[in-house]
Amino acid sequence: MNSLRQGNPNTVLVVEQNPTGHRLFYVRVLADAALATGARVVVLLGPDPAPEPEQVHLASVIDSIEVLRRPLMSLDDVARISHEVEADRVVIPDADRFALRLAVRRHWAGSGRLSLLIMRESAQPTRYPLVDRLKTLLRSTAFSRVARLQNVDLRVLKSAGWAGTARFPVAVDPVVIASSDQSVAHFRTEYGMDGERYWFAVLGAISARKNLDLIVEALRNVSLPWGLLVAGQLDEDITEELRVRLGSMVSEGSAIVLDRLLTDDELDTAVRAADCLVLAHSNEGPSGLLGKAAASGTRVVAAGAQSLRRDVTALGGLGEWTHLDEAALAAVLHRATQQPRPRAVLPATTSAFTDALL
């Protein structure tokens, strides 16, 4: 693999046309690392500016990179753009669909080496386990084919703190903590995080897959005075009934709702300000928030995804996992209130992510 080295006049093309969730954070982390080597960095975004997420995630690098805006790109389009910018390295941080297409094409026709980050090695679970296993087998077969191609580096995303063996080379989810102790104190004061309550938090891009409704119901069976911090953009699939319920909890003083995109500092501060981060996910895959909690010393209650079960177990005393069941979740939430705040069990680092892709 031709890694970037200090002083090389390499051109790195980073392709990310979906501005939602963590994706532009990955772009910034990659851009920072590439710029540190003296590389020229070109970022290919979607056709329409996304002012809020771009400001949040790219403001610190925007004056140092070149930005291209194009309609949704196919694999052939990306190859063509790579030649136009004379790329030495092309990085696609959300590359599942590109990898599946490349498995059929069996040839990277672009300029330089291509790095593909696979976000989900396995198929998402459904009510049909046999179908899920077949889909996972087909994905694995396709990824194996791509991993053998010339000038292609395929990496699978793993959670921060991951330890074990993997079928493919891995890129470990980057952890950046951008807040200070002063930020945490100010956040608690500004939003009225009463010290008499035990504060649970559901953070980030909040869709139905984070099971906020189940968490709210489970909390009804936690006896200790508690509060719920909901901070991050509520997706349109969050029901009106749940929104009304949250509004009532805010009026009662048992909830704080910040329904908007958080800055990096705000998200990191929210993780540190909470007593316990709740990750009740229906979908499989690494959780960047879990890494932030592990690096911050914030307790975690996890539920649902088997990937969360494995990752929480690997992090030792950070937290506990359970099933997506109201009674089971309530029991684990209650136990969390009886536990001391854990120590930080991970360093905040990005090198195991950027080194694997650049």
Return the H-helix or E-strand segment holding 274.
none
Span 4-14, pLDDT tens digits: 544 446 999 99
Instruction: Assess whether pLDDT exceeds 70 at residue 318.
Output: yes
Residue 188 included in any domain: yes
Residues 193 and 84 in one domain: no
pTM for the full model? Answer: 0.87
Residue 357 included in any domain: no
Give the per-residue pLDDT at 140. Answer: 83
Segment 335-356 shows an average pLDDT of 93
Residues 77 and 132 in one domain: yes
What single-letter amino acid sits at 66? E
CATH number of the domain that 194 lies in?
3.40.50.2000
Give the per-residue pLDDT at 5. Answer: 42
Helix ranges restricted to H, the chain: 23-36, 51-58, 75-84, 96-105, 129-147, 181-190, 212-219, 240-252, 264-273, 288-296, 306-314, 326-337, 351-357
Say which residue, 81 or 4, is predicted with more confidence: 81
Residues 187 and 218 in one domain: yes
List the domain range (segments joined by +) for residue 196: 181-337
Instruction: Assess whether pLDDT exceeds 70 at residue 1.
Output: no
Instruction: Assess whether pLDDT exceeds 70 at residue 282.
Output: yes
Instruction: Assess whether pLDDT exceeds 90 at residue 22.
Output: no
φ/ψ region of 198 (left if φ > 0, alpha if ψ in -120 to 50, else beta) reads beta
Residues 144 and 187 in one domain: no
Residues 147 and 207 in one domain: no
What angle is formed at CA 311 by the lines to CA 306 and CA 315, rounded to 5 degrees? Answer: 145
Residues 240 and 330 in one domain: yes
Mean pLDDT for the chain overall: 91
User: Of 158, 191, 218, at which residue does a domain stop?
Assistant: 158
Give residues with Cβ within 8 angstroms of 81, minimum separation 6.
Answer: 13, 44, 68, 70, 73
Segment 231-253 shows an average pLDDT of 95
Residue 172 included in any domain: no
Say which residue, 332 or 224, is predicted with more confidence: 332
Residues 57 and 133 in one domain: yes
Give the three-state DSSP class for 154: strand
Residue 202 included in any domain: yes
Give the per-residue pLDDT at 20. Answer: 80
Percent of the chain with pLDDT over 70: 96
Residues 121 and 202 in one domain: no
- Report the distance separating Cα 245 and Cα 234, nearest Å: 14
| DSSP codes joined into one string, 66-111 | EEEE-SPP-HHHHHHHHHHTT-SEEEESS-HHHHHHHHHH----SS
pLDDT band at 123 (very low <50, low <70, confident <90, very high): low
- Report the distance separating Cα 308 and Cα 279, nearest Å: 8
CATH number of the domain that 141 lies in?
3.40.50
Return the H-helix or E-strand segment holding 114.
strand 113-118
Residues 61 and 188 in one domain: no
Give the per-residue pLDDT at 2. Answer: 42
Report the number of distinct structural domains present in the chain: 2
Say which residue, 292 or 22, is predicted with more confidence: 292
Residues 75 and 214 in one domain: no
Residue 351 included in any domain: no
Give the per-residue pLDDT at 6. Answer: 45
Give residues with Cβ within 8 angstroms of 271, minimum separation 6.
Answer: 201, 203, 277, 289, 292, 293, 296, 298
Span 167-196, pLDDT tens digits: 899 999 999 998 899 999 999 999 999 889
The upper half-sphere exposure of residue 349, i.e. CA atoms within 13 Å in the direction of its Cβ, equals: 12
Nearest to 292 by CA among 314, 268, 308, 275: 268
- Going across the sheet that includes 299-304, the strands are 255-258, 226-231, 198-203, 276-281, 299-304, 319-322
Token digits of residue 26 = 């990955």
Give the three-state DSSP class for 184: helix
Residue 347 included in any domain: no
Return the H-helix or E-strand segment holding 255.
strand 255-258
Residues 106 and 149 in one domain: yes
Report phi then psi at 23, rounded to 5: -65, -45
Residue 175 included in any domain: no
Q: What is the DSSP letter of 37?
A: T
Segment 133-162 shows an average pLDDT of 88
